[in-house]
Amino acid sequence: MSSDTVHSKSGGGLGTFFGVWFGLLFLTAVEVVLAYVQVLSLKGMVMVLMVLSVVKSWLIVSFFMHLHSERTSLVLSLIPAVVVVITLLAMFFPDSLRLLELRVP
């Protein structure tokens, strides 16, 4: 099997994978800069970091795990699991903020 056949089945060549990798590297750098600069409130920072993490996880699952080239039924079967995870995060997020208030100064 030639390398062209492998790349055509996976849906992208080295350029695509390096582009995604540099995108992930850029998003990670943004997260690190946001953590050091601290221009947002704690709640705002957590929300921005969560959104960036969701984008990064989508890039990883879509390109490195080749989910973008799978059948639609497989992709749609993962949506309920993602909804459950996001719901659980939304339920436990307020409790984690309550723990910050319990800290002794």
What would the pLDDT profile of 64-92 be if each residue is shown by its tens digit? 777 777 777 777 787 888 889 889 988 88
Q: Greater confidence, 12 or 11?
A: 12
Count: domains in the chain: 1
Q: At what angle do helices 42-59 and 14-37 cross, to 10 degrees?
A: 170
Segments forming the whole domain that contains residue 92: 3-102
Q: Smallest Cα–Cα separation from 32: which of 22, 42, 45?
A: 45
CA distances from 4 to 11, 14, 68, 70 (A): 11, 11, 18, 19
- What is the pLDDT at residue 12? 67
- What is the pLDDT at residue 5? 46
